[in-house]
Amino acid sequence: MMERTIDCRGMACPLPVVNAKKASEELQAGDILTVLVDNEVAVQNLQRFASHKGYVSTGEKKSETEYTVVMTITGAGTAAPEEAIACHQDTRRKGMLVVLSANTMGNGDPKLGTALMKAFVFALTKQDQLPDTILCYNSGAYLTCEGSESLEDLQLLESEGVTILTCGTCLDFYGLREKVAVGGVTNMYEIVERMEAASQIIRP
């Protein structure tokens, strides 16, 4: 078995996929190809390519600017169609931060507030430009956990490259840490950092 690593960090789409395609064609069944990239969209594009080729792939986030995609070459594979090499455009607006500090929206009837929040998160998925990050804290932590009516929409946003983070202290307070079903867990230091760095903060 041969293992090969190619560094595609700093490359614009579709170069990571093009280089991965070229490298994979030089490998045999059972060989391992690792691709280094620096953004989530490149990870998605590479895994889409691997899926079209019939390869087994896994993606891992090492840091905010370092990701790896590991492909296991399986047989001769099939010719990758053009759409497998085409870029999946990053529709996120850099610096846009959405803060969900409650599992309801607005003041008043809780039932109405729950319905409004569900509608708000759904509406986010339909925007031409998606937020860069969504922060959930206080009772907003419920939104990222099992049983949330917004869970599918948040999972869709995450699949589009949106970073979703939930306050760990809040999860512990509500006894929800083991029920997180989307995104990652963060702390107050990172919450403050991301708010300071944001160019636009939306609070429904």
**85 neighbors 14 (Cβ within 8 angstroms):** yes
Confidence label for 74 from pLDDT (cuts 50, 70 and 90): confident
Q: Which of 36-40, 130-134, 142-146 reaches the highest mean pLDDT?
A: 142-146
Mean pLDDT value across residues 63-92? 69
Q: Is 13 a catalytic residue?
A: yes
Q: What is the number of structural domains in the chain?
A: 2
From the candidates 13, 136, 145, 170, which is the catalytic residue?
Answer: 13
pTM: 0.59
Examine the domain organization and report whether 100 and 193 are in the same domain: yes
Residue pLDDT, tens place only, 22-69: 999 999 999 999 999 998 888 988 998 898 889 999 999 998 889 999
Average pLDDT, the chain: 89
Q: HSE-up of 13 (CA within 13 Å, CB side)?
A: 17
| Listed residues 85, 118, 152: the one ending a domain | 85
CATH of the domain at 136: 3.40.1260.10
Beta bridge partners of 71: 33, 57
Are residue 52 and residue 104 in the same domain, yes or no? Answer: no
- State both tokens at 92: 């996120």
- The residue segments making up the domain with residue 30 are 3-85
Helix (H), strand (E) at residue 37: strand 32-37
